[in-house]
């Protein structure tokens, strides 16, 4: 098998490059899409089993919920705690856009301080990425208002690591809203969830109450990301498929002479096609391993790249790994089978003469 | 015995062979001759099952070729080919080219290579040996399964006179039906029958 790869080394290399690029781009696009969804989902899930948003508003950035609802919510049976969060984005010094999170005192403890203290009013704390980008400043300009930097925190969530956290009272002034959403933690999510959701919903007809899991599954932005990355990944898959089909056709055309001889000496079409398929699977597996390695390396680099503020974070989970392994193998096998089956139908002497 | 009944062949709208019928008994040495373009290679390809004729029937030992259940096995076991160009696979060694077509033991392959005086070249690639040695490799591949029929299409077309004579002698000595297409009858010392083709017809 390796002898034929060596004999057609340039085409083998081209096939490897095409397959590796196609697989790596699918890995990257899907992983980055999943990463963004997973980061935002973790942010919401960390503190809440239930999310309360303004009714009829699709995006958390545009939602405005009255914080006075926190009082009746926290006294409800089955509720462990509740808090308001403001999420927004804006220019921070030289950084044109970064996440701004207005949080209450109990949320602050979720951040691991690496330097300084939690912020009081008039202060902010910076995520590690943005602090490093701004060269550990003592104060910053946030949407035209000056704030002292109280400390630096580390978060596993890239969005938070690349943003700033301010006390919710300051965020209310900056964004002129009470809260983007309320997050409610339950004593036992399995027991209390539906009853608490119904009770909160009954408090006001201007709010929409969902479990955070349901919210994440139906959040429009996530759907857009999933669909966009799915479409781009499908295009990459199709382009990779076309490249492999055309390169395999070229390779099989080059090898018509060899296939003609093999058939002339009594080797069956099935055996010849099987041999081609085995070669292609070996090539694809090699390309897959290379693509996986390249993707892991690039995802790691993207996460570390300061200019992206840690916002680009990718995850290659087992499901994506297996799906892509099966998908790319099928793509390559079909790509090889089409020209091989066409060649198998031609009389051996014609294959030999055309292949000379 | 090979039987051809009203074989005609057309390619790209051009009639290459016209209504050829003939019977070739077993263990005969048959030469098909004719000028270039007379259709001898096409006729040989059809008799050797490598090309389906547009019209007519081909029978081996009374069985229609299309009724043979496993044509690949039939080709492998009953037919050997020697072509003008050696048609060895370039990325396989001489030994591997022969091994590819047979289940016979290594010792038997090596014995055959010794008989053909190319044992020392077994691990060489086709482009590392001379034209005559390549052709002997091709003859070895054709002979290894001891086929009942050997087909040779201008097997000496690319060889010098010494190597040509050696290949003709080798073919002449085989215990099989040998059908040889050549335009050069001068080196063939004896034959059981000569079939002359002109414009796709037997003369």
pLDDT of residue A311: 60
> Which of left, alpha, beta for A221 (phi over 0: left; psi -120 to 50: alpha)?
alpha
Of residues A253 and B152, more confidently modeled: B152
User: Which of A170, A205, A240 delimits the end of a domain?
Assistant: A205
Which of A205, A239, A265 delimits the end of a domain?
A205
Q: Is residue A247 part of a domain?
A: yes
Number of separate domains in chain A: 2
- Quick one: average pLDDT of B71-97? 88
The values of phi and psi at residue A94, to 5°, are -85, -10
B12–A contact, CB cutoff 8 A:
no
A166, part of any domain:
yes
- Residue A50 included in any domain: no
Cα(A225)–Cα(A216) distance, integer angstroms: 12
Is the per-residue pLDDT at B159 higher than 80? no
Which residues of A touch chain B, with CB atoms under 8 Å apart? 3-4, 6-7, 257-258, 261-269, 347-350, 352, 356
Those residues with Cβ within 8 angstroms of residue A306's Cβ, 6 or more apart along the chain or in another chain: A129, A132, A133
Q: Which of A334, A330, A312, A333 lies closest to A322, judged by CA?
A: A330
Count Cβ–Cβ pairs < 8 Å, chain A vs chain B.
53
* Residues A241 and A111 placed together within one structural domain of the fold: no
**pLDDT at residue A1, as a whole number:** 60
| Residue A49 within any structural domain of the chain | no
Read off the pLDDT of residues A160-177 as tens digits, 9 standing for 90 and up: 888 899 998 999 998 889
Q: Assign A312 a pLDDT band (cuts: 50, 70, 90).
A: low
pTM over 0.95: no
Q: Do A12 and A71 belong to one domain? A: no
The percent of residues above 70 in pLDDT, for chain A, comes to 93
CB contact under 8 A, B87 and A261: yes
Q: Average per-residue pLDDT in chain A?
A: 83
Examine the fold and report which residue of A157, A179, A205 is the final residue of a domain before the chain moves on: A205
State residue A308's pLDDT score: 63
Q: Are residues A70 and A124 in the same domain?
A: yes
Over residues A296-305, mean pLDDT: 80
Which one-letter DSSP state was computed for residue A227? H
B143, with CB counted inside 10 A (0-12, 13-18, 19+), is buried
**Whether residue A87 sits in one domain with residue A12:** no
ipTM of the complex, rounded to two decimals = 0.85
Residue B95 predicted with pLDDT over 90? yes
In a domain, A289, yes or no: yes
- What percentage of residues in chain B have a pLDDT greater than 90? 50
Same domain, A242 and A271: yes
A16-53 pLDDT, tens digit per residue, is 888 888 888 888 888 887 777 777 777 666 668 899 99
Report whether A149 contacts A125 (CB < 8 A): yes
Biggest alpha carbon–alpha carbon distance for chain A: 87
Q: With 60 as the cut, is the pLDDT of residue B125 above it?
A: yes
Domains and CATH numbers, chain B: 27-39+70-202 (3.40.50.300)
A105 and A196 both lie in a single domain: yes
| The pLDDT of residue B3 is above 80 | yes
| pLDDT at B32 (0 to 100) | 92
Q: Please, which residues bridge with residue B31 across strands?
A: B180, B194
Q: Please check whether residue A97 is in contact with residue A135, taking contact to mean a CB–CB distance below 8 angstroms.
A: no
Name every chain A residue with its beta carbon within 8 A of the beta carbon of B101. 265-267
pLDDT of residue A3: 73
Residues A92 and A200 in one domain: yes
Do A172 and A232 fall into the same domain?
A: no
Structural domain contains residue A210? no
Q: Are B6 and B189 in contact (CB under 8 A)?
A: no
Quote the domain boundaries for residue A175.
56-205
For residues A262-286, average pLDDT: 86
Q: Is residue A51 part of a domain?
A: no
Q: How far apart are CA B192 and CA B172, in angstroms?
A: 11
């Amino acid at each position: 098998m390796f002898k034929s790869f060596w004999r057609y080394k340039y085409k083998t290399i081209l096939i490897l490059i095409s397959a590796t690029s196609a697989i790596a781009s699918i890995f990257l696009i899907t992983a980055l899409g999943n990463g963004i969804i997973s980061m935002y989902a973790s942010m919401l899930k960390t503190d809440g089993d239930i999310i309360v948003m303004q009714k009829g508003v699709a995006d958390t950035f545009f939602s405005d919920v009255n914080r006075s609802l926190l009082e009746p919510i926290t006294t409800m049976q089955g509720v462990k705690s509740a808090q308001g969060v403001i999420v927004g984005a804006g220019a921070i010094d030289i950084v044109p856009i970064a996440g701004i999170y207005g949080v209450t005192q109990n949320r602050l403890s979720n951040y691991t301080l690496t330097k300084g203290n939690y912020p009081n009013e008039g202060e902010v704390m910076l995520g590690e990425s943005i602090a490093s980008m701004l060269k550990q400043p003592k104060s910053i300009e946030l949407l035209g208002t000056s704030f002292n930097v109280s400390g630096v925190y580390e978060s596993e969530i890239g969005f938070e690591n690349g943003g700033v956290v301010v006390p919710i009272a300051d965020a209310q002034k900056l964004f002129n809203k009470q809260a983007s959403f309320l997050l409610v933690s339950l004593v036992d999510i399995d027991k209390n969830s539906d009853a608490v959701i119904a009770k909160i919903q009954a408090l006001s007809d201007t709010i929409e109450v969902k479990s955070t899991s349901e919210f994440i599954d139906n959040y429009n932005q996530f759907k857009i990301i999933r669909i966009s990355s799915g479409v781009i990944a499908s295009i990459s898959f199709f382009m990779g498929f076309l490249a492999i089909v055309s390169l395999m056709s070229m390779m099989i055309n080059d090898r018509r002479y060899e296939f003609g001889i093999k058939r002339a000496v009594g080797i069956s079409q099935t055996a010849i096609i099987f041999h081609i398929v085995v070669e292609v699977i070996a090539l694809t597996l090699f390309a897959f391993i290379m693509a996986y390695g390249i993707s892991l390396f690039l995802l790691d680099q993207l996460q570390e790249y300061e200019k992206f503020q840690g916002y680009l974070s990718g995850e290659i989970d087992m499901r994506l790994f297996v799906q892509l392994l099966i998908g790319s193998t099928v793509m390559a096998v079909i790509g090889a089978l089409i020209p091989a089956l066409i060649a198998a139908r031609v009389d051996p002497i014609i294959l030999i003469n055309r292949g000379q | 015995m090979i039987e051809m009944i009203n074989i005609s062949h057309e390619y790209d709208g051009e009639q290459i062979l016209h209504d050829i019928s003939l019977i070739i008994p077993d263990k005969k040495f048959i030469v098909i001759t004719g000028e270039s373009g007379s259709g001898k290679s096409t006729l040989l390809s059809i008799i050797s099952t490598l090309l389906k004729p547009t019209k007519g029937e081909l029978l081996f030992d009374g069985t229609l070729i299309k009724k043979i259940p496993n044509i690949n096995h039939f080709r492998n076991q009953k037919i050997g080919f020697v072509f003008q160009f050696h048609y060895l696979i370039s990325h396989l060694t001489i030994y591997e080219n022969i091994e590819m077509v047979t289940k016979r033991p290594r010792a038997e392959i090596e014995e055959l290579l010794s008989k053909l005086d190319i044992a020392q070249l077994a691990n060489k690639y086709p482009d590392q040996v001379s034209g005559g040695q390549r052709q002997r490799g091709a003859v070895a591949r054709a002979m290894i399964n001891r086929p009942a029929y050997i087909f040779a299409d201008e097997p000496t077309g690319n060889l010098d006179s010494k190597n040509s004579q050696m290949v003709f002698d080798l073919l002449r000595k085989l215990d099989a039906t040998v059908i040889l297409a050549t335009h050069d009858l001068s080196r063939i010392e004896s034959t059981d029958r000569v079939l002359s083709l002109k414009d796709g017809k037997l003369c």
